[in-house]
Amino acid sequence: MLEILKNRGTVRNYSEKEVDETLLNNLLEASFQASTTGNMQLYSVVVTRDQAGKERLSPLHFNQPQIINAPVVLTFCADFNRFSLWCEQRNAVPGYANFQSFMTAAIDAIIVAQTFCVAAESKGLGICYMGTTTYTAAGIIDALNLPKLVVPVTTLTVGYPKVPPAHSDRLPLGSVIHYEKYQDYTPEAIDIAFSYKESLEESKRYMEINKKETLAQIFTDIRYTKANNETFSTAFMEVLKKQGFLS
């Protein structure tokens, strides 16, 4: 298992081999054993296999091809609806229409999603996290008919890799771990942390294609700009209001 985790990579190109429904259900069942706040299981998972369903979701993920070519798309949702309904049916008054409750449910959903990834990769499947889920949460809510107190927080595409995935580069261990207290980074420590990532031919190619002086500018000027972050932040706050987590 440690070797699988250390050598894993993201899969965006899938073979035509279907994911067996029994296997998928077993993987989901295993992932639902993950830790959860108060054993409340504050998440729901929407499984999309139907081509029409994938086509509805595709533009909401900026038409990234893996939504269409993956056999399975899983949308993981923070869900306080089910628990609140249970409370009401058992003469208890739920108090979960607030941001703290959203965060609790969102953490539950993310833990389950990552547990699913580990289980799926152990069985030879590949996955890709779709970072676009919170960007277009309002559209996903409509597409998946999500009620109040349910918000999509992440999406996984799942299938058998068409080719073995490339190993993902990561920061060195010493650049991420802090012992006892957080130690802020010196300029030298920043150089050490990012030197390998900057040295990759893929990184140099991005800089050349986009005519950027540094790899950091790829992130700030192209991939995750301030303007986009502020726009998506505003939109997501509106989603939380609409879904009942913010007043």
Q: In this predicted structure, what is the pLDDT of residue 32?
A: 98
- 28 found inside a domain: yes
- 68 found inside a domain: yes
CATH number for position 23: 3.40.109.10
Q: In this predicted structure, what is the pLDDT of residue 167?
A: 86
- Number of structural domains found in the chain: 1
- 215 found inside a domain: no
- 245 found inside a domain: no
Q: In this predicted structure, what is the pLDDT of residue 4?
A: 87
DSSP the chain: -HHHHHT------B-SPPPPHHHHHHHHHHHTTS--GGG---EEEEEE-SHHHHHHHGGGGTT-THHHHSSEEEEEEEE-HHHHHHHHHTT------SHHHHHHHHHHHHHHHHHHHHHHHHTT-EEEEETTTTTTHHHHHHHHT--TTEEEEEEEEEE-BSSPPPPPP---GGGT--SSS--PPPHHHHHHHHHHHHHSHHHHHHHHHTT-SSHHHHIIIIIS-HHHHHHHHHHHHHHHHHTTS--
pLDDT in tens, 149-205: 999 999 999 999 999 988 889 999 999 999 999 999 999 999 999 999 999 999 999
- 186 found inside a domain: no
Domain encompassing residue 153: 2-166
- 13 found inside a domain: yes
Q: In this predicted structure, what is the pLDDT of residue 44?
A: 98
- 172 found inside a domain: no
- 43 found inside a domain: yes
User: Which residues does the chain have with pLDDT short of 70?
Assistant: none
